[in-house]
Structure 1
């Protein structure tokens, strides 16, 4: 990924700590994206890369392992994937805007912030807390290596490119992950 913004390149650690580190990165990048004096174009590209890499690593390694360990239910894993899809969709709207100094951009950033903040909070409460209680340190460490490896692989593959985010959103629509915005409310 060619971004001047440091997204971190962990190679190991407790998966819960690694996920939380990314959550704090999301929050910092969102603050920068709201700041009209920042390089908003670079920030949105970095945020997109982190969002996709993080989601792909969770969906490929973390959620399935936590389900097998009965730390989370199938519904919780599916709901996390739906929220990732909603975040990708909101991220795509931010990426597709030409300028970063318009009301449309600010509105798209607000929509992204809403989706992202909701997901971070819910994931920390309903997925990470049970993982702390139900999954041993060794498994969390093994999962940390798998998560970090996949995350870095995704970043190296330019996973946050607008074309890739479009593809991911299209696939999510086909899988029914983006059917009804109001079905959970």
Structure 2
């Protein structure tokens, strides 16, 4: 089972990519009927919620101010986070991790998440690589890591919090 990676800061692109690779490994683990799916899902929920919230509060606004990404890209990424969070919640609400319902909901989460990772790596991280200085990327990475850690420590992946996040996103 992939352990929750501590985000230690550094270049924001590399820190975000490390989480992306971790998400892919967690999804592989969730597909494996021999794994402790409940534990993997709990870890995935924690990291996914923390990651998205930290991006939206610490990374996207700064990249927008630096003109690396535009308002439409920010809105699109936030919309994809909301879709992923809805799919995450639907999966968390399935009681039987061995059921067809779990498998179907896992497929929906996997589709939403892999689509978002692909687009973010191409449309957000590439401009961050080329349009933002190394110093700014390190500063953003440190801010992202600190916020991600704070959210993880606060238990952001708890189902009650995920429900709250999804409800807030649906009101926007």
In structure 1, C-alpha distance between the alignment counterparts of 2:170 and 2:9, rounded to whole Å: 33
User: 2:165 aligns to what?
Assistant: 168
| TM-score normalized with structure 1 length | 0.91
Query: How well do the aligned residues superpose, as a CA RMSD in angstroms?
Result: 0.9
In structure 1, C-alpha distance between the alignment counterparts of 2:159 and 2:96, rounded to whole Å: 15
Shift of 1:10: 2.3
User: 1:128 aligns to what?
Assistant: 125
User: 1:88 aligns to what?
Assistant: 85
Contact 1:58/1:147, CA 8 A, preserved across alignment: yes
Q: Secondary structure at the match of 2:143?
A: helix
Contact 1:88/1:165, CA 8 A, preserved across alignment: yes
Higher helix share: 2
User: Where does structure 1 lack aligned partners over 5 or more consecutive residues?
Assistant: 176-185
Q: Secondary structure at the match of 2:88?
A: helix
Runs of 4+ in 1 over 4 A off after TM superposition: none
- 1:32 maps to 2:8: no
Q: How many residues align?
A: 172
Q: Secondary structure at the match of 2:144?
A: helix
User: Where does structure 2 lack aligned partners over 5 or more consecutive residues?
Assistant: none
Q: Secondary structure at the match of 1:168?
A: helix
| TM-score normalized with structure 2 length | 0.98
